[in-house]
Structure 1
């Protein structure tokens, strides 16, 4: 079955096995590209304590600073990439970013000093901006009734890269040593970096060949489809930046995705130090945190779409508030676990809610300002990195243990979640969303009747929104 589309060619259904439509090809390639960027972005984390740190002689503080650099630079990269999507389109933006990522990840294998390593991690952090392109691209490809789950699923499956790299990079590094590509245990991480680098180039080619900026085509061929401010109006970025709702979502995303980034970067170390586990065992357990992205983020976006059917746009916001408050409580619970099985179980519970909160956030984002979607996505997405940097800075400067930090962060996250109560939509926005939803429901009802009467087998039937 193909994805059903409207007259503006936005898909109103998600059929994972439909590769003939531009919407679903874009969906799959966007999450795959994000997966690889996330994999490359965090490829150093599971190897930092056991191989990279000893090989380069890094101190504990230098390891934390490297994490801050890699995550912190993404703040600016996300702000810039959102604006770039509005200007040149998501297709070119992703291709350029994948090529850049391939270069800097492979180049990191040649560093020999702390200074070189710090600069390398800064450069690698830029590819964390891939999230914004993924959210932008799926937002322009899917209709309002499924945009929440489309955004959440593409981002969630992409985020799997952060969990998979925890388990896979140690295996790749060991394989490099076994196959003779490394001459010592401490240097095995260097050739391992060429693996994600090479795959990024392959996906860049596929993105160039099989996607386009929007359902109708590419912005370069159809400049009228490119979002732009009217003459005399503020720029799209300034329009987004002047909306207080954007900054509330910025803070809320710092409370969910920012925490995921922090945990992704520290989870393996946490299990190695607290429970005296090996690199491989700790990496495998840490991977469970990221692997929840298989469905958790999708669930958050799906439930955001469902809440909107009865509660409108404010229903999406209420769901986001609920899930974030619970996320904070789950993190607080995790911080108190001193028995390994209980620590794993509560980590998984926390992971479920942190990723549902991320999906819920980006079920709200597409409705804040449709014209400035790239800028809104970039600002909100940058919030996650700001949060991660602040969490890491506190860990570095406070002298607190990770357990103490997790307890404090749990209280903070729940408090931030309550900020969502300040997000409001105008009656006009609510009426527009309701009208769109009704038209989609009428279309789907009519389509079912046509199928029942054997009047149409064309699943690509269009409806005017």
Structure 2
């Protein structure tokens, strides 16, 4: 029984043996479909925009709404994980999130579409549960890599949806079920049903810890269990705010690109909706390896230079991301735009993985709260840059130029910040607990 309580110190991605690896695979697959539902309507926005007669400002408001609810949801879900456990928290979130996904097709006005798009955003809180649950199952020496892989493979859903959802909509229209202009409505039912299926799978086949669920374990045997004042303690730690700012500059930009990439390619290079979706999917497709790469490099750096080294690595990645986005914004050919998009996508997604390679070591007793605060930072970043895309005086290229400058400045700020030495002591303490 004691052996079962020990988190795994190796990540065997081709294995489903044991509750740890089974939970690992179910978690990233569930997160994948959460992204699929969250951004399912994004590549279909040109159809929505035309049918509902949306202005550029209204589309911008929809982009902002799609990430706004996630801010509060991530903070709330982080605390839920510390108390109810990730299994119940994820099940509740999946069921609740599936409802607006399936019902958004009933929208017949800007106001109703905006409301549904806002409530769909709660699905974005799935990231916090994903990272929390992975941290429960793996030892400190591999947490960064494990979190990066689950996060990256899950984020891959944001790229796949850009490719698949236009094809689903076109299939329904081609089969005569709906007109081309209404095809986005029935297409959105598909990801909603998938979310309900994943809710049942998650509840049935995962556990909160390697040794069982929170409600079946004594409080003193729950790794990372609830603590009095945990959320306030997390808020008082300046390192949490540094990571929150950093995550706003990487993940916040990622979900912004997921939202606008297809529309950007259509408006700037006059591509069709299916081609635009395929091009946008390339950006999300980088999650297949790039976020995991960031986590692995972070773990390697951490072994030699501790959490200080992890922080320096994160700052460098953000600097390179900012430069790449600026180059993307000035691309005047489709080929150059694709190349520069791949460039900044690499550094952005590595920065995502590096950020959550640090999170589990900030406060080992309150990982849910820390993860929720930092995760919310990503959505705050997306919400703020969303105002650039709603401006009638700025083109999407102009918006990306400002974003590139902002990310560079944040990277420089993170590079200058030094995490306190006690952070390294915390890492060593966690490692000793696992070894003993």
Equivalents in 2 of 1:100, 1:7: separation in Å? Answer: 32
* Structure 2 partner of 1:278: 272
Kept in 1: contact 2:321–2:404 (CA 8 A): yes
Query: What aligned pairs does 1:28-427 form with structure 2 within 5 A after superposition?
Result: 28-49=25-46, 51-182=47-178, 184-224=179-219, 225=222, 227-230=225-228, 235-397=229-391, 399-421=393-415, 423-427=417-421
428 and 404 in structure 1: CA distance in 2 versus 1, 3 angstrom threshold: closer
Shift of 1:428: 4.1
2:11 to 11, 14, 26: 14
Specify the SS of the correspondent of 1:10: coil
Kept in 1: contact 2:58–2:390 (CA 8 A): no
Shift of 1:175: 0.7
Shift of 1:55: 2.3
Shift of 1:181: 2.4
Shift of 1:93: 0.7
Shift of 1:429: 3.6
Shift of 1:349: 0.8
Specify the SS of the correspondent of 2:121: helix
Shift of 1:327: 0.8
Kept in 2: contact 1:7–1:464 (CA 8 A): no
Specify the SS of the correspondent of 2:141: coil
432 and 379 in structure 1: CA distance in 2 versus 1, 3 angstrom threshold: closer
Specify the SS of the correspondent of 1:418: helix
Shift of 1:217: 1.1
Equivalents in 1 of 2:284, 2:211: separation in Å? Answer: 35
Shift of 1:142: 0.7
Equivalents in 2 of 1:135, 1:418: separation in Å? Answer: 26
Q: Deviations over 1:71-120 (max 9, x none)?
A: 11111111111111111011011111111122211111112222211111
Equivalents in 2 of 1:277, 1:390: separation in Å? Answer: 28
Equivalents in 2 of 1:118, 1:426: separation in Å? Answer: 43
Kept in 2: contact 1:245–1:423 (CA 8 A): no
Equivalents in 1 of 2:401, 2:20: separation in Å? Answer: 42
Kept in 2: contact 1:328–1:414 (CA 8 A): yes
Q: TM-score, normalised by structure 2?
A: 0.95
Unaligned runs of 5+ in 1: 441-462
Equivalents in 1 of 2:283, 2:3: separation in Å? Answer: 37
Shift of 1:433: 2.6
Equivalents in 1 of 2:175, 2:90: separation in Å? Answer: 33
Kept in 1: contact 2:56–2:391 (CA 8 A): no
Query: What aligned pairs does 1:420-435 form with structure 2 within 5 A after superposition?
Result: 420-421=414-415, 423-434=417-428
Kept in 2: contact 1:163–1:286 (CA 8 A): yes
Specify the SS of the correspondent of 1:380: helix
Query: Which structure has the bigger radius of gyration?
Result: 1
Equivalents in 2 of 1:258, 1:141: separation in Å? Answer: 27
Kept in 2: contact 1:68–1:393 (CA 8 A): yes
> C-alpha root-mean-square deviation of aligned residues, in Å?
1.8
Shift of 1:406: 1.4
Kept in 2: contact 1:75–1:385 (CA 8 A): yes
Equivalents in 2 of 1:298, 1:156: separation in Å? Answer: 6
Q: Deviations over 1:348-367 (max 9, x none)?
A: 11111100000000001111
Give 1 or 2: higher helix fraction.
Answer: 2
Kept in 1: contact 2:131–2:147 (CA 8 A): yes
